[in-house]
A and B are shown apart, each in its own frame.
Chain A
Amino acid sequence: MRAIGIILAGGNSQRLKDLCKLRAIAAMPVAGAFRAIDFALSNMSNSNINKVAVITQYNSRSLHDHLSAAKWWDLDRKQGGLFIFTPFLSRENNYWFRGIADSIYQNISFLKRSHEPYVVITSGDAVYKMDYNDIINYHIEKGADITICYKDLAGGSQNPQDFGIIELDHENRMTGFEEKPLEPKATTASLGIYVIQRSLLIKLLEAAIPEGQYDLVKDIILRNKNELNIFGYNYDGYWSTLNSVNAYMRTNMDFLKKDVREMLTTQPYIVTKPKDEPPAKYNYGADVKNSIVASGSIINGLVRDSVLFRNVFLGEYSSVKNSIVMGSCYIGKGCVIENAILDKEVVVADGKQIIGEPNNPIVIPKGQIV
């Protein structure tokens, strides 16, 4: 019990368009059965971090529903467990969280009442599997005040311009940091995963917030970069954040690759809230290749290179190619779905076609009847 965890799940993105109209990014469905936050939550409990705060703000209803019982992540504890922090009104305070640092500061009693020496802060919007003990050990070994996890994006499909770019010297000490630079000086992107001493975090927050400094990166990390030992920790495993429709599509499709899928099929497992659906049912007309099909689904048609979530019904002579079909969608007979993202509970009537472009998938919002 040497660390507590904070998962930042308040985020929304205009770039996710209608997919995020009704839900926080952390609640985005991923890989057939999960929501994005399952990855951060499972990482916490798999790293023996048993006291975890989830900070929510934007459209948090679906997230609260998902987190209504902490037992699935082994976080139903008397000592520690899961804490969910939303903005609230009080005599002193009648505003929403004004930034990430502010959202932690408004719940500073969580930090003050803990005794663990370290805090692991991560975003609930990213898909990755990490043992946080590795980064905590590195943090201790380096004698760091703050450790920032980064990944070299060179050669990958993610654009450095979308990320905070960390500049490092030969010892991996941070020398500079630029938020979403137009002309990045490096390809080493911050993953928004930090380790910091709990007492230091309290001190920095108490200094910054009363001065109106509410941002974690700008006002806590960069402002103190000359006074503190800030190190980068290189992570070279799979990491993807859901910051646009294309990134969402790509992340889901990545799970059709064996090496990415192994993240789910090897221990320690990524865990989600169980839905108790029966096994997927393949009927006579089923023809499925290179696809993920979640439980409760009934397949009568053709599926290629796609991810089908729970309880999807696919009618006879219909085809789904290179698409994401979220939970409880109903696709009738003789439909064609290509390069599309069907949000939950979409109904596609017999014979309808929904066809997007390979690099620009068409998004059908939740519950729409086509």
Chain B
Amino acid sequence: MRKKEMMAMLLAGGQGSRLGVLTSGKAKPAVAFGGKYRIIDFPMSNCVNSGIDTVGVLTQYRPLALNRHIGIGTPWDLDRKAGGASILAPFVKDGEKGNWYSGTADAIYQNISYIDQCNPQYVLILSGDHKQNKCDVTIAVLEVTMEEASRFGIMNADENDKIYEFEEKPPQPKSNLASMGIYIFTWDVLRKALIEDSKVHSDSDFGKHIIPKMLDEGRTLYAYRFKDYWKDVGTIESYWQANMELIKTIPEFNLYEDFWKIYTNNDYMPPQYTGENASVKTSLISEGCLIYGTVENSVISKNVVIEEGAVIKDSIIMENSIIGANTVIERCIIDQDTKIGANVKMGLGENIVNEDKPKIYNTGITVIGSSTTVPDNIEIGKNCVILGNTTADMYKDNKLESGKSVIIEGAIV
């Protein structure tokens, strides 16, 4: 078979638990971003725009939304005879029990036969969320501040960016080169390391095991300093911030560049319509939307209806959701297929952290899960979470105070 120079393996199995209710029904890479996109569209499009035509997408946690979105890769021109997009779910093997992917490297290890079939010289490992010199591994790194550095895996490198040490979340970081979870390996070298490490660690992980092992063996590892736009959207606040950056007049990350298009699975919606009494400012509005109310500083996904008199500020509303008449929404994230009634007030009051999940909901953003219903005339505070088909009797005095949650068990099957 013809040798491929480079293929990509995209780790898309993560739950992304810090995104709270947004990932209760789908994996983090399937979460909506920037209006019409999903997070995975960005690495997928980057692969295609970089000329990589073979992409394995490793799924595990709630893969349905992701599988439907990727299909056979048509939106990214990855419906190819040789290569293209392949969804790689964990599977049962002959004569032994199947295993879930228990670590990032383990996931690649379990798909060695797929990569062997593609027969690449190099493998690019991307997280769902080039090559240089003559080396075995290149690791993409981002220069972060020294204060932030203790939150990341840190690469200590010499003046030629040759890595001599790796420290996972060091309390006293020696450098500020944070791993972005993007690696390029020479496939022969990685293949050998994966097989060897799988005998030692069943939860084999790139950061914890493979990279330190390669350093120990004296392999040549180089850091590639990434200077462009890279954002971690792992928390509710950082996810909200990254969306809001897109609506600046000239955003740092510009979706409107022709030569580096981001592709997504188009749902063939007609252009959006803005009504007679509508007002829209500093916002992104996607196809299929019907805007009859007021929208400011917000990112609105496909096919959203905002009824007359409704006011949306500093919020993210995902596809197919309907916002009732005269409802006021401030600093909220509303997941897809949700219906908010009329005269609802959301995101008001004091900034009290969420009682149940204070580590997830603590910056004042109220989050409404997917396929949720909020009845008419309800007042909802900050850092609230609502999930499921809620009715008026679930809200005392038609109110949900800041920091409280209404989560219907089994709302997501």
Residues of A participating in the B interface, judged by any CB pair closer than 8 Å: 31-34, 71-72, 256, 261, 264-265, 269-272, 274, 276, 278-284, 286-296, 298, 303, 308-310
Count of chain B residues with Cβ under 8 Å from any Cβ of A?
39
CB distance from B409 to the nearest CB of A (A): 32
Q: What is the bound-complex CA distance between A298 and B250, given in angstroms? A: 11
B266 contacts partner chain A, Cβ-Cβ < 8 Å: yes
Q: What is the bound-complex CA distance between A279 and B295, given in angstroms? A: 14
Q: What is the bound-complex CA distance between A272 and B36, given in angstroms? A: 17
A279 touches B273 (CB 8 A): no
Contact of A278 among B74, B255, B288 (CB under 8 A): B255
A279 touches B281 (CB 8 A): no
Contact of A276 among B263, B280, B283, B286 (CB under 8 A): B263
B270 touches A265 (CB 8 A): yes
B315 contacts partner chain A, Cβ-Cβ < 8 Å: no
CB distance from A6 to the nearest CB of B (A): 24
A292 touches B271 (CB 8 A): yes
A295 touches B247 (CB 8 A): no
Contacts of A34 in B (CB 8 A): 270
CB distance from A37 to the nearest CB of B (A): 15
List 25 A-B pairs, Cβ < 8 Å: A270-B270, A272-B268, A276-B263, A278-B256, A279-B34, A279-B36, A279-B255, A279-B284, A279-B285, A279-B287, A281-B256, A281-B284, A282-B285, A283-B282, A284-B281, A286-B281, A288-B280, A289-B277, A292-B274, A293-B271, A293-B272, A293-B274, A295-B287, A296-B256, A310-B271
Q: Considering the complex, give the chain B residue whose CB is closest to the CB of A42.
A: B268
B407 contacts partner chain A, Cβ-Cβ < 8 Å: no
CB distance from B319 to the nearest CB of A (A): 11
**In the complex, the 3 A-B pairs of residues with the closest C-beta atoms, listed nearest first:** A32-B271, A279-B35, A264-B270
Q: What is the bound-complex CA distance between A146 and B269, given in angstroms? A: 35
B282 touches A294 (CB 8 A): no
B34 touches A71 (CB 8 A): no
The contact string, 1 if C-beta is below 8 Å from chain A, for chain B 367-390, is 000000000000000000000000
Contacts of B299 in A (CB 8 A): 279
Q: What is the bound-complex CA distance between A249 and B392, given in angstroms? A: 48
B249 contacts partner chain A, Cβ-Cβ < 8 Å: yes
Residues of B participating in the A interface, judged by any CB pair closer than 8 Å: 34-36, 74-75, 247, 249, 255-256, 261-264, 266, 268-288, 290, 295, 299-300
Q: A71-B74, A283-B282 are in contact. Are A265 and B271 (CB under 8 A)?
A: no
Contacts of B74 in A (CB 8 A): 71
Q: What is the bound-complex CA distance between A287 and B291, given in angstroms? A: 13
Contacts of B276 in A (CB 8 A): 289-290
Contacts of A72 in B (CB 8 A): 268
Q: What is the bound-complex CA distance between A200 and B281, given in angstroms? A: 59
B275 touches A290 (CB 8 A): yes
Q: What is the bound-complex CA distance between A47 and B275, given in angstroms? A: 32
Q: What is the bound-complex CA distance between A294 and B274, given in angstroms? A: 11
Most A CB within 10 A of own CB, among B74, B277, B279, B280:
B280
- Contacts A282-B295, A290-B274 known; list 14 others, CB within 8 Å: A31-B270, A71-B74, A265-B269, A265-B288, A270-B268, A272-B268, A276-B75, A279-B299, A282-B284, A284-B281, A288-B280, A289-B276, A303-B274, A310-B271
A295 touches B283 (CB 8 A): no
Q: What is the bound-complex CA distance between A280 and B285, given in angstroms? A: 5
Contacts of A32 in B (CB 8 A): 270-271
Q: Considering the complex, give the chain A residue whose CB is closest to the CB of B74.
A: A71
B282 touches A274 (CB 8 A): no
Contacts of A270 in B (CB 8 A): 268, 270
CB distance from A26 to the nearest CB of B (A): 19
Contacts of A71 in B (CB 8 A): 74
Q: Considering the complex, give the chain A residue whose CB is closest to the CB of B255.
A: A278
Contacts of A293 in B (CB 8 A): 271-272, 274, 285
Q: What is the bound-complex CA distance between A279 and B271, given in angstroms? A: 9
Contacts of A280 in B (CB 8 A): 271-272, 284-286
Contacts of A265 in B (CB 8 A): 269-270, 288, 290
Contacts of B272 in A (CB 8 A): 280, 292-294
Contacts of A256 in B (CB 8 A): 273
Contact of A33 among B255, B271, B280 (CB under 8 A): B271
A274 touches B274 (CB 8 A): no
Contact of A279 among B263, B274, B286, B290 (CB under 8 A): B286
B249 touches A276 (CB 8 A): no
Contacts of B269 in A (CB 8 A): 265, 269
Q: A279-B36, A296-B256 are in contact. Are A289 and B282 (CB under 8 A)?
A: no
Contacts of B256 in A (CB 8 A): 278, 281, 296, 298
Contacts of A283 in B (CB 8 A): 249, 281-282
Q: What is the bound-complex CA distance between A276 and B259, given in angstroms? A: 12
A274 touches B270 (CB 8 A): no
CB distance from A313 to the nearest CB of B (A): 9
Q: What is the bound-complex CA distance between A265 and B320, given in angstroms? A: 12
Contacts of B263 in A (CB 8 A): 276
Contacts of B264 in A (CB 8 A): 276
Q: What is the bound-complex CA distance between A324 and B357, given in angstroms? A: 51
A291 touches B286 (CB 8 A): no
CB distance from B219 to the nearest CB of A (A): 40
Most B CB within 10 A of own CB, among A270, A274, A281:
A281
Most A CB within 10 A of own CB, among B266, B273, B285, B286:
B273
Q: What is the bound-complex CA distance between A280 and B266, given in angstroms? A: 15
Q: Considering the complex, give the chain B residue whose CB is closest to the CB of A33.
A: B271
Contact of A31 among B262, B271, B280, B283 (CB under 8 A): B271
A294 touches B281 (CB 8 A): no
A261 touches B261 (CB 8 A): no
Q: Considering the complex, give the chain B residue whose CB is closest to the CB of A307.
A: B271
Q: A265-B290, A289-B276 are in contact. Are A274 and B284 (CB under 8 A)?
A: no
A291 touches B274 (CB 8 A): yes
Q: What is the bound-complex CA distance between A265 and B290, given in angstroms? A: 10
Q: What is the bound-complex CA distance between A279 and B255, given in angstroms? A: 9
Contact of B35 among A269, A278, A294, A310 (CB under 8 A): A278
CB distance from B200 to the nearest CB of A (A): 45
Q: A265-B290, A276-B261, A295-B287 are in contact. Are A282 and B282 (CB under 8 A)?
A: yes
Q: What is the bound-complex CA distance between A32 and B276, given in angstroms? A: 18
Most B CB within 10 A of own CB, among A270, A283, A308:
A283
